[in-house]
Structure formats: structure tokens, C-alpha cells
Structure 1
Amino acid sequence: MFFKDSNFTKRNFLKNFFLVREFKIKFLKSSEQTEVNISRKISEEEWKSFFSRLITARIEANLTQVQVAKSLGKYQSYISKIESGEKRLFMEDFVRLYKLYNKSPEYFFSVFSK
């Protein structure tokens, strides 16, 4: 069974599913609609802009990487690696970050709308 070999439980799976669903609904219902062509590749410039916005949002929220890490239950190095693009940013963490930074998802995703 899928859940047997990992510490990932059915409850966590459903929780994550609903977080993603909540994010999609909020993103689609926002007043500022951002259209993204997902069939094209994301440029290096766009990736850099996205991660730059993560750093800027954290700084504007007057938070250190250590404070953010504690809020997420992670280590400071985890936040550092996300901000540098070395580590994947999972949807659950992204939702927690944009709420913690008091930013909308569009603030981050608008770098992809061209």
C-alpha cells in the first residue's frame, strides 16, 4: 500500500490535498487574475525572480530565516536552500510562507506571466 512504507499517512495526504485545493481556489478567485502559459519552459530569469521575491517578502515581513524555519518546524538551512533554489518548495510550505509573509500568491507567481 502507498502509505505503508513511509510516514506519510492517509490523513496527511488528505490534509495536503485540501491545502492545494484551497490554494487553487484562492488563486483562481483572486481579483487580480494572472494567466500563465504552462506549456512553455520557465526561464532562468523567471526562476531567479521568483526566489528573489521569496527573499524580499521575508525581509519585508521583518523575519529572519531562523524565525521562518521555526514557524515551519524546519531548520534554517532548509529555508536557505529554498531561497537559493537548491531545494524544492513544496506546496504546503509555499502556502504557509505566503500567509506568514502576508503576501498573495500572485505576488510570487506574477513573475511567470508574460
Structure 2
Amino acid sequence: MGSLNGQNNHSSLPAAHDCLLERITALLSRWHGLQMAVQNQWGGHDSFQKSQQLAADIFSWFIHSKAPQIEDLKNLLHERMLLSLNTEIEDGSIEEVAEQLMIMHEEYLHGNR
């Protein structure tokens, strides 16, 4: 099964930002629904790259949102899984992943990296 852990070329990012991106990437690499989509290439031959882009997009969303809301994050995850990876997730894992991502972001904001 493919993993999202790869070399990141984000040397211009502050260490805390880089750590947040790595944690997001690690969480997504453990998400069964996403990994099934990548492994089976449901989003096409570039499914792995799309999964990496999802991690980068979530990171960017957190960094640029003034007050991130979990409902918006759930919508982002659902939309990207459906449109980019042709995968409908109905097992409740989007909610679980969104909750874990929000906790991760809160820890980041409070310096618990």
C-alpha cells in the first residue's frame, strides 16, 4: 500500500509549519479509505500525487483560515475524495480524520508540536 511519506521540499517553511505538514501527511497515510483509493488508482495513475496534494491543501487551509471550522474541513475532505480520487467515503472516517486534524491544528497553535 502506498504511503504519503516522501521527501518534502519545504525548506523555506518554518520548522513548526513543516512539522504540521508532516503530521497531516502521516495521518492521511493511515486513512484506510484514502489509501485504498491510492492503491487502486481510483483517481487515475496520479492518485498518489493527488493524495500528497490533499495533504498540502489541508495544510494551506489551516494556515490561511482565520477560524477553521470542522464542518468546512469535512466538506473539503469529502469533496477532494469524490472529485480528485473518485471515492465516496460513507464509513464515518471523514469525520474521524477531520476531528484528528482539528486536534492536530489546535496542538500546533498551542505549541505542542
TM-score range, shorter chain: 0.3 to 0.5
Structure with the greater alpha carbon radius of gyration: 1
Give TM-score, length-normalised by structure 1: 0.36
